[in-house]
Chain A
């Protein structure tokens, strides 16, 4: 088992900095805004919250309005708007500064599971348990396209760096790449044994995709060749859709939550586990990395209900 905790080179371990309580049920997703000023979290308690990183312990805003639990949220690129995806089959747009509800996007016929803005933030993509991926116009709220994406619930959707491609993943074991402007399928990626894919996201340069599958594995694929290049194991992921991300602010790492209540950090190239962040008391569902600082945020399930912020010690 590759669960060695030797720090690679001069890796400084992350330490727990803040624990944010307040959610009354499991935290499903945490995200930093692109400008690094806010952290947002959403929960099964039907609310989303934003925290200002200048003073994280006080809640900045709470967003009420969904009729059922929220599975995912996303910031627009300028950090002014927040989109939430909920089990009430809607995606809602909120104003970050005032906490007010702006728009409801109706159209999905089952739980909306994942949502993301494109870099230009004029379009939103959402994936749902109704097996489709929808592209929405942010300004008018109209559904621009419905993609017949998968044959099982769609677990993750993400735009690439320039917003020209969308990647979607599903319990049916496939990852599909779509052309964002025409809605046509460009490629399908599948491994030999195709375990349900719980998460997918593009690398910062849009050339690779990070795929998490429910067989306790994370893989980095080059989607143009259709081959995977790296495999990361050691964590536990066989039940929930756990998100993972890239940490590039201080060396290149892969960060992921795990069902054994820890946050795992692997070095990108060597695939060695460099740290396990312990502290949560339930499975860690979501992690997010701050765009400029060495900060990781994590959110955990119902036994824990907290969002934790971890930082690396400064020199």
Chain B
């Protein structure tokens, strides 16, 4: 991305709902690695891929046999595969480009969360966390299932642990156990019901470290930041905790072996705890001490600088954003619908949230147009500055103006071909193979009555995406000439979609008054600047 001219202060956190996406009832979402595509799983069993740049539907996967609601979607690292977990206990692996089903397994229980192995480009193993038993590694090629231990006693006799009926803190029997891969997938971090984080080597199915969480309450979510340096846990005691990952990103197993050797403990449990304490260090705790709200779907921002968590209270759609230092920087409030899933865009300061009604809201910065960008030599000042005129400022022929020839060295060599690597993505050696976008085939126009048929093509082709709200997004900047040119579309679009936008009042007022004005305003300001110059 061309960093030099994009204001660095801009890339912070979102503030308002920019628009929403609608297609059936969506349940869960996942961005691909670069954030150019958003996959959403629906309640009718289909999985929809949105082109996040155009906010239109790029592809849809539908399995005739499976119509159960999707519980989780996950992209493979290079975006070629999508793993979909559904309420009929199935896991399906889709090929994104061809839209074909690659593999399908049925488990004993509905997986609430399924994650593909993040280390390889064509992962065949995935981590599934079912509704009420231990997380398991599923090999999609061979359909073998390996259950992971959720507590130390499980590994003692090497048999699969029995499903638990009651947990130590008396919570309901069907509490899911949370688990996630670390950055390269060599270790699995499991959060169990005793409030312990277990570091497990999934190949040998051995627990290599234990980290007890203060408070020992059931862990509901556990997730790594993109760079693998921080781990987030969400516990039943309504606290989100951030741990710093002390293990090296690659070769974690080797480091664990070393730690094991170093540890002087004899007792196995103590040894594991000692090792564990060298793997994770508690960094911060977040909670809302006033409302003591439970958290839902917490996660990190793309660069790991922000932590976002949704309020799990039904009837409100609140998203809390903290910075890593622990300060609550923003609470985003949406329409009064419960929040069921949340994701932060890998690159941009955009948050996407799914509400109970199946709509996906896109939150972005409330951008005020940088009018000084329109004038080339306009310099914005933060505060009033005392202007000190030059010695010769009021001379008839100021000294400074005489020296007019450009001191541009035109003989300097310039390079027009080398492209700089994108620093935001550290292992971009992979990016040759990566899918960043799906080919967009333009839908055939229906000949003649084009305007009237716009509705029908959109019904057939790509569900009901947000039509004119897209131009309303532009409306925040005052560019609204769009509406006049396609009045028919606007009308039909308007009646079909419900407008539930946070900043809508401001935008609508602006709309009515200033449809054509922005352009002329611009002309005036340009002319003004010309004369000033």
Contacts and interface: CB of A to CB of B under 8 A. Distances in A.
Contacts of A229: 408, 410, 412, 414
A104 interface: yes
Describe B's contact surface by its main secondary structure: loop
Chain B interface size band reads 35 or more
A143 B486 contact: yes
B56 to A, nearest CB: 5
Describe A's contact surface by its main secondary structure: loop
B471 interface: yes
Contact of A122 (B53, B415, B477): B53
A197 to B, nearest CB: 13
A205 B474 contact: no
Given A109-B485, A139-B441, A179 B467 contact: no
B174 interface: no
Interface string B3-25: 01110000000000000000000
Given A106-B485, A120-B437, A141 B416 contact: no
A149 B477 CA distance: 13
A262 to B, nearest CB: 23
A187 B373 contact: yes
A286 B480 CA distance: 34
Interface stretch (A53-61, A66-74, A156-164, A293-301): A156-164
Given A142-B467, A145-B471, A188 B482 contact: no
Interface string B406-447: 001011111111111000000000000000111111111100
Given A107-B485, A185-B374, A226-B376, A208 B416 contact: yes
B4 A106 contact: no
Contacts of A123: 53-54
Interface stretch (A11-19, A20-28, A130-138): A130-138
Interface stretch (B69-77, B101-109, B515-523): B515-523
A35 interface: no
Contacts of B6: 179, 186
Contacts of B440: 120-122, 137-139
Interface of A: 78, 81, 93, 101-104, 106-109, 120-123, 131-132, 137-148, 151, 160-165, 172, 174, 176-177, 179-190, 203-208, 220, 222-224, 226-231, 246, 248, 252, 268-271
27 contacts: A104-B445, A107-B486, A120-B53, A122-B58, A122-B437, A122-B440, A137-B54, A137-B440, A139-B58, A139-B462, A140-B54, A140-B442, A141-B443, A146-B471, A146-B479, A163-B53, A164-B1, A181-B53, A188-B373, A190-B377, A205-B416, A205-B418, A205-B420, A207-B416, A222-B414, A228-B408, A248-B417
Given A231-B410, A270-B411, 12 more contacts: A102-B445, A108-B485, A120-B436, A122-B440, A123-B53, A138-B440, A144-B54, A145-B482, A151-B526, A184-B369, A207-B415, A224-B4
